[in-house]
Amino acid sequence: MAWEFRKTGPGENVAVEAQTDPFAAPKWAPPVWHMPEFLVLAVNVVRVLVRVAVVLIRNIVPVSAASALAWLGHRFGWQLPAALVVLVLLAVGAWAVIDRPSFVRCIGRPVRARWRLVRVYRRDWQPVLTTAGLSRTHKRREYLPSIVRVCCGPTCDRVLVRMLKGQAPDAWEKVAPNLAHGFGAQLVRVRQGTANRWYWDAGVLRVRQVPKPGRIWLEFVRKDALAVPMPALPLLEASEVDLRGVVIGRQEDGSPWRLRLLGTHVLIAGATGAGKGSIIWSTVRALLPLILAGLVEVWAVDPKRMELSFGRALFERYGRYCDDPTGGMVKLLEDAATDMNERAAEFAGVVRSFTPSHRHPFRVVIVDELAFLTAYCPERDLRKRAEAALAVLTSQGRSVGYCVIGAQQDARKEVNNLRNLFPDRIALRLDESEQVDMVLGDGARDRGALADQISPVPAIGAGVGFVRLETSPDPIRVRAAFVDDHDIRHMVTLAVPDDSTPDAA
Ligand SMILES: Nc1ncnc2c1ncn2[C@@H]1O[C@H](COP(=O)(O)OP(=O)(O)OP(=O)(O)O)[C@@H](O)[C@H]1O
């Protein structure tokens, strides 16, 4: 066997002397050093030993268990380790039956993560990344980003990746579809990478995730966690409702979707049939206990006379309702703005953070179709007045207990130039991809907010959308609970038992 060591860099070649033809052009080839065989052998032995040690350390638990069983079998015969294995399996089975959530958390998910690391991600890593253009070759050597960790959730895998030096997350965002196809996922989202930071808190060792440059999380969505509609959420006690986050649906990871109302305004954008109504009604439902307690009022502006008219009796009893296109709706907004100014004058220098009370209830102004008031209304004067009132409410109302929830079908600027006055925005199904960034802010679509790809089939996609939370630039996929006509009637009957309108029957 010939052992040789070649230098292969450009400029390191040498002329090959052995030429039979004296007139032939000189031939160039890499210089070759012949190495002693024992040295090559020693290097390879050390390499193998290091690899074996790494594998043993990485799999320390199964390796230790297998070694202990082997030693017991050798010392006392095979019956003892066999009995131990059966006992452990029985104990694990009992754990799985008795406390499934903790079993899934401690055993199921880590085992599944390990399995998917080996069978899916490590196996296909090199070919998929090379095809997607995420590896680099330098001096004939291929450099690949490496997998740090894999975590499995119920519907998606998260893979923590150490990028190549000089790579940035947007290089991965651009090839997200390639990665999804390559690893058999429905879609891939790229998130800021994190690292664990351990710290002492009152004598307890805690861990928190801190952003880590050079790393990214790849979220491989295996199946749509929000594909099944969610029924209306149960009504809570008034003391359980938190205006800093009322629960109106669920997030993709299965946790509750909390919509902040206190100290903000919310814009809901979605094409027709996208499910704006379910967000509005889930919010009203979540607020109902506080509405009945007199601590929250809903003022409803209903240009379409469809969605909110179901709850007319409720709004009229505990707040206000208007669907008058000839000026009534604008008057309602102006009244809200006037009251808000009076509150601001009363609170000035006295109240710093708003707490709802019977005298000053938290007021939620819901406008079902903003564009009707700001763009489509035929009377210019009314449009201007509506815009002015909305601008006052959204720019100054947050700190004095006002929250405007506006819904609109069209996200374009010409239709609603007050968009930026709504700090919290929800993008439901949108007709065009450009509208996603208009609603959620620049780069939201690249970061995975594919609102234009939400299914138009109501059972699958209605009420599904993307939100951006204050704490992170990454959009979160959510679905609102579906409050159907029956639920609305039930809410109205609860709130207005003596109501005799046909809807309340
Ligand atoms: N969260 C949801 N889960 C399941 N289905 C829903 C949900 N929200 C709405 N739907 C279904 O989608 C249909 C359309 O919803 P909705 O009327 O709320 O849409 P919209 O965005 O308000 O439309 P438009 O702008 O035309 O009024 C509803 O009739 C209902 O069947």
Is residue 430 a contact partner of residue 391, using CB atoms and an 8 Å limit?
no
Q: Which is more confident, 9 or 365?
A: 365
Dist. CA 397–CA 177, nearest whole Å: 42
| pLDDT tens, residue by residue, 234-249 | 999 888 999 999 999 9
**Residue 147 pLDDT class (50, 70, 90 cuts):** very high
504 pLDDT tier (thresholds 50, 70, 90): very low
- Give the residue, 72 or 379, on which the prediction is more confident: 72
* H-state helical runs in 244-359: 276-292, 312-318, 328-347
Distance CA 177, CA 72 (A): 51
Whole-prediction pTM value?
0.75
The predicted-structure confidence for 31-42, as pLDDT tens digits, reads as follows 677 788 899 999
pLDDT level of residue 7 (50, 70, 90 thresholds): low
Confidence check: pLDDT of 16 > 70: no
- 463-495: pLDDT as tens digits: 999 998 766 778 889 999 999 999 999 999 988
Give the Cα separation of 112 and 30 in Å (integer): 48
The span from the CA of 315 to the CA of 291, in Å, is 10
Q: How far is the CA of 411 from the centre of ligand 1 (A)?
A: 18
Pairing of strands 475-480, 246-251: antiparallel
Report the b/e string of 407-444 with b at 16+ CB within 10 A.
bbbbbbeebbebbebbebbbbbbbbeeebbbbbbbeeb
The finding on whether 121 has its CB within 6 A of some atom of ligand 1 is: no
Task: Output DSSP code: residue 298.
Answer: E
pLDDT of residue 260: 93
In one-letter notation, the amino acid at residue 280 is I
Determine which residue's CA is closest to atom 26 belonging to ligand 1: 272
- pLDDT at residue number 18: 61
Q: Using an 8 Å Cβ cutoff, are 229 and 480 in contact? A: no
What integer pLDDT is reported at residue 416 of this predicted model? 65
- pLDDT at position 505, please? 39
Q: Which domains does the chain have, with CATH numbers?
A: 112-223 (3.30.980), 238-504 (3.40.50.300)
| Nearest alpha carbon, ligand 1 atom 13 | 273
Share of the chain above pLDDT 90, in %: 51
Nearest CA to ligand 1 atom 15: 275
Q: What is the pLDDT of residues 166-192, one digit of tens each?
A: 999 989 989 999 999 999 998 898 988
Q: What rounded mean pLDDT belongs to the chain?
A: 87
Helix (H) or strand (E) holding 299: strand 296-301
pLDDT higher than threshold 80 for residue 346: yes
Q: Which of 267, 280, 482, 487 to mutate to test the pocket of ligand 1 (most atoms within 8 A of CB)?
A: 482
Q: Is 278 in the pocket of ligand 1 (CB under 6 A)?
A: yes
For the ranges 88-97, 367-376, 415-424, which has the lowest average pLDDT?
415-424
Candidate from 235-244, 268-277, 349-358, 448-457 with smallest mean pLDDT: 349-358
- Confidence grade of residue 1 (pLDDT, cut at 50, 70, 90): very low
Spacing, Cα 228 to ligand 1 middle (Å): 14
Confidence of residue 2 (pLDDT cuts 50, 70, 90): very low
Mean pLDDT of 81-92: 94
CA distance 410 to 269: 7
- What size, in residues, is the chain? 505
* Rounded average pLDDT over 328-338: 92
Q: 450 CA to middle of ligand 1, Å?
A: 19
Residue 181: its pLDDT value, please? 95
Confidence grade of residue 14 (pLDDT, cut at 50, 70, 90): low
Binning pLDDT at 50, 70 and 90, where does residue 407 land?
very high
Whether residue 308 has its Cβ less than 6 Å from ligand 1: no
> Does the Cβ of 81 fall within 6 Å of ligand 1?
no
The pLDDT tens digits of the residues spanning 292-324 come to 999 999 999 988 887 788 888 999 999 999 988
Range of lowest pLDDT (8-12, 110-114, 294-298) = 8-12
- 363, pLDDT greater than 80: yes
* Ligand 1 neighbourhood includes 458 CB (under 6 angstroms): yes
279 C-alpha vs ligand 1 centroid, how far in Å?
9
CB–CB of 398/265 below 8 Å? yes
Binding-site residues for ATP, in ranges, read 270-277
The secondary structure of 82-129, three-state, reads HHHHHHHHHHHHHHHHHCHHHHHHHHHHHHHHHHHHHHHHHHHHHHHH
